[in-house]
Structure 1
Amino acid sequence: MSALAGAGLDADLLVVGGGPVGLAAAIEASAAGLEVLVVEPRPAPVDKACGEGLMPGALAAVRRLGVDPAGADLTGITYVAPDGRTRAEHAFRTGPGRGVRRTELQARLAEQAASVGVATVPGRVRDLLQDGARARLVLEGEGPASLTARWVLGCDGLHSSVRRLAGLDAGSDGRRYGVRRHAALAPWTSQVEVHWGRSVEAYVTPVGPGEVGVAVEGPRGTGFESALAQLPALAPRLAGAAWTTPARGAGPLRQRVRARTAGRVLLAGDAAGYVDALTGEGLRVGLAAARAAVEALAAADRAPSPSAQAAAVAAYERDWRALSRDYRTVTTGLVAATRLPAVRRRLVPVAAAVPGLFGAAVEQLAR
């Protein structure tokens, strides 16, 4: 009998959510010597609506995990005004990022996780119970009825069940939603184009030699076609294109969280709180949080006393706030400012008029 089984445990760590952040956390946990299981109700590859652009820093983080997904080089960011003529452009100074289909990224991370011994268990979390020594997930689906471990890491997205069951959910403002599709078109630029409309934005990301991803964001009720109607510089490029995927939506985007830890439960990725996709930093922050969470749990397992263990877990909340501070500050400010029609009209012209400032902002996001 293994030590885990003898202690009534199925694993050291249960990671809930088999998307990129959850799989990254599982890979990190395995490297740290933890026995880890991933709980995911959907068959691979797991898809969701997202912009699919890995900034240079996010690409470096993925490669550090031993994964190098196929896609298209991203060399910078371009903001485009509705007239199509006013543009602000900046090329990354640190080298390219990569546009990667979400399914491709998830598949490669899943392969890497399996190669280091991480197993995925099918199931949807129905309940979460914990005491001072362990946490138990009650599941529904084709897998086991329950799983028990010393720790649970919720990486299950915007509408996280783990966050809700742990009492950490603080609601959403419900204002911003997103829709994404893919078109069979040769990319016309190697940069991510952000097209600004009256109340919507569209993010065009090359994801391969013959395909681009188009994600639109806007207020509740925003549809894909209605969003393109606000973007006369983009709509003609997509006219007649063969759509390779159906419209997939997400939202509300803004998710508020009371804290990132509750006893033996931690949160990472979108489950840990989300502002908006406006700056494209979500995945970079999520990958960094996954690493920080695993480091906190490894430190907790080495702690000589319950109080030292609690302090190690509490350090994750401070680490999360520090590594996400710039993202939260910049994105919250930009979302609030661009709710004002006058700011939206002037955003691209001002960015084009002060290229140094625009470039500095892009480099901050690219790191």
Structure 2
Amino acid sequence: MVGADVARTRDDDADVIVVGAGPAGASAAHYLAAAGRSVLLLEKATFPRDKVCGDGLTPRAVSELVRMGVPMRPEDGWMRNKGLRVVGGGHTIHLPWPEIDRYPSYGLAKARMGLDQTLAYHARTTGAKLMEGVNVTGPVVDDRTGRIVGVTARQVDARGRRIEGADAEIELRAPVVVAADGVSARLATAMGIAKRDDRPMGVAVRTYFRTPRHDDEWMESHLELWEGEPRRSALLPGYGWIFPLGDGTANVGLGSVSSTARATQLDYRALLAAWMRNAPAEWEFTPENQIGPVRGAALPMSFNRKPIYQRGLLLVGDAGGMVSPFNGEGIAYALQAGRIAADVISQALVRGTAAERERTLATYATRMADDVGGYFQLGRQFVRLIERPEVMRICTTYGLPRKHLMNFVLKLLSDSYDTRGGDISDRVITALTKIVPAA
């Protein structure tokens, strides 16, 4: 509400509350603390904790980590890779990460069990107050303005259970709240920000294997996922992956996508099990080498929850549906959203009037749309195409042998193209993202 006061009062516990200490929340907290803001970073789990993810980081994500100043030493579990090995249609090709000005020419892999803890502790080192085992139960809303002015929360143990003897509920206040609470987006939902059913939704499952392939310098993508026996059943929109982690293990999983939010009826765990049974014996993807269960998660794509700013609440990462429809990548956009949200908030809190502060906060949505809205919208059209089995079959059979075409596809799918020149493929992708309306 324009005119509502967002300035900090003596009753506030911080300048900003960030709910969720995944990549998006940790990024926002880091940049806010670096700007001299008092930040509470609330995480319901206790580190280390796991999240379902492919554990692969594109050059775009790496560039965000470099910007944050996160150390990425191999001895700390950061596995560098050269690019993508693509398998499909009877072909195997190697696609190095593009050499462009805005991103490094390498990717990384690191298990989320360690990645999220590293980023959250990095934010804490910068100056954010990290509070683990704090489960946010809802927003605190000002009756007069309708703005969020804090959150209610309760202390929980490592399993998410209420701690006996602890206060049933606590209240924490701040003039601005950042929702980084993941795909569930409970805070946004409580504030009346609904999910959009016209945006793509992905599903991914993954597990870990001990394997000789753990030190492979290439991330691997399998473009053909069959509902049943290969080439005698339906070809599914999605891909399988093998992401080596360099520690004796690899993250192995698969994902599929729908152009709308409707749930698919596929048994993804059975599909992954069938793929593993058909894997070459030398990969050693066997039950005795499997580490942990197969776990799955939804992937909310293309800003599937809007508005991403409303009444003092900014949505970042999965809470705002910031996963790429092209490849299921979410970490890069989560880190970016946290950075932009922090900059907008820092600028807003020094404005002289409530109206000025509100106008500044509202620029968050515009800045995100300007940067990735067109790309996400292009991804929506891409998903509609690959949902058609005949299109997927043509692409894998006839597209993969064409190296120049596949280099173009890699730039497009990984969002690793040069927006300020580059070669013809960079210019084409840039033009396409500007032609389509922002998502």
TM-score (norm 1): 0.89
Q: Partner amino acid for 2:69? A: G
CA contact (8 A) 1:176 1:220 kept: no
Structure 2 CA distance for aligned equivalents of residues 308 and 172 of structure 1: 33
Matches within 5 A, 1:180-259: 180-187=206-213, 189-195=216-222, 196-197=224-225, 198-199=235-236, 200-218=238-256, 219-229=264-274, 234=279, 236=281, 237-240=283-286, 242-251=289-298, 253-254=300-301, 256-259=304-307
Q: Render the CA deviation track for 1:49-75: whole Å, top value 9, x for unaligned.
A: 111111112112112222134222121
CA contact (8 A) 1:289 1:323 kept: no
Q: Closer, same or farther in 2 for the Cα pair 1:330/1:212, shift >3 Å? A: farther
Q: Render the CA deviation track for 1:308-365: whole Å, top value 9, x for unaligned.
A: 1111111100111122225413432332222111122122234324322321332342
Of 152, 157, 182, which residue of structure 1 is paired with 2:182?
A: 157
Give the 3-state SS of the residue equivalent to 1:247 in structure 2: strand
Q: Render the CA deviation track for 1:190-246: whole Å, top value 9, x for unaligned.
A: 222121212252121111242110121234443334235258864653542611222
Once the 2 structures are TM-superposed, how far is the Cα of residue 171 of structure 1 from its aligned partner? 4.4
Structure 1 CA distance for aligned equivalents of residues 58 and 79 of structure 2: 12
Give the 3-state SS of the residue equivalent to 2:150 in structure 1: strand
Structure 2 CA distance for aligned equivalents of residues 235 and 222 of structure 1: 23
Q: Closer, same or farther in 2 for the Cα pair 1:30/1:239, shift >3 Å? A: closer
CA contact (8 A) 2:83 2:96 kept: yes
Give the 3-state SS of the residue equivalent to 1:187 in structure 2: helix
Structure 2 CA distance for aligned equivalents of residues 327 and 220 of structure 1: 28
Counterpart for residue 140 of structure 1: 154
Structure 2 CA distance for aligned equivalents of residues 362 and 251 of structure 1: 24
Structure 1 CA distance for aligned equivalents of residues 179 and 279 of structure 2: 38
Q: Partner amino acid for 1:185? A: T
Q: Closer, same or farther in 2 for the Cα pair 1:330/1:244, shift >3 Å? A: farther
Structure 2 CA distance for aligned equivalents of residues 297 and 60 of structure 1: 22
Once the 2 structures are TM-superposed, how far is the Cα of residue 92 of structure 1 from its aligned partner? 1.0
Structure 1 CA distance for aligned equivalents of residues 265 and 322 of structure 2: 17
Of 76, 84, 87, which residue of structure 1 is paired with 2:83?
A: 76
Of 12, 22, 40, which residue of structure 1 is paired with 2:43?
A: 40
Q: Partner amino acid for 2:13? A: D
Q: Partner amino acid for 1:18? A: A
CA contact (8 A) 1:88 1:351 kept: no
Where structure 2 has 5 or more consecutive residues not aligned to the other structure, the ranges are 1-6, 100-104, 157-166, 226-234, 257-263, 417-439
Matches within 5 A, 1:260-339: 260-275=308-323, 278-339=326-387
Counterpart for residue 14 of structure 2: 11
Percentage identity across paired residues of the two chains: 23
Once the 2 structures are TM-superposed, how far is the Cα of residue 275 of structure 1 from its aligned partner? 5.0
Instruction: Name the stretch that deviates more: 257-266 or 340-349.
Output: 340-349
CA contact (8 A) 2:182 2:319 kept: yes
CA contact (8 A) 2:79 2:246 kept: yes
Q: Closer, same or farther in 2 for the Cα pair 1:335/1:6, shift >3 Å? A: closer
Give the 3-state SS of the residue equivalent to 1:153 in structure 2: strand
CA contact (8 A) 2:13 2:174 kept: yes
Once the 2 structures are TM-superposed, how far is the Cα of residue 16 of structure 1 from its aligned partner? 0.5
TM-score (norm 2): 0.75
Counterpart for residue 92 of structure 1: 97
Counterpart for residue 437 of structure 2: none
CA contact (8 A) 1:289 1:320 kept: yes
Once the 2 structures are TM-superposed, how far is the Cα of residue 123 of structure 1 from its aligned partner? 2.0
Structure 2 CA distance for aligned equivalents of residues 361 and 232 of structure 1: 29
Q: Report which of the two structures shows the higher radius of gyration computed on alpha carbons.
A: 2
Q: Closer, same or farther in 2 for the Cα pair 1:235/1:334, shift >3 Å? A: farther
Structure 2 CA distance for aligned equivalents of residues 229 and 277 of structure 1: 25
CA contact (8 A) 1:25 1:291 kept: yes
Structure 2 CA distance for aligned equivalents of residues 350 and 11 of structure 1: 57
CA contact (8 A) 1:125 1:138 kept: yes
Q: Partner amino acid for 1:58? A: A
Structure 2 CA distance for aligned equivalents of residues 191 and 225 of structure 1: 26
Q: How many residues align?
A: 362
Give the 3-state SS of the residue equivalent to 2:306 in structure 1: coil
Counterpart for residue 49 of structure 1: 52
Structure 1 CA distance for aligned equivalents of residues 383 and 276 of structure 2: 19
- 1:344 paired with 2:369, answer no
Q: Render the CA deviation track for 1:240-259: whole Å, top value 9, x for unaligned.
A: 26112221110264572121
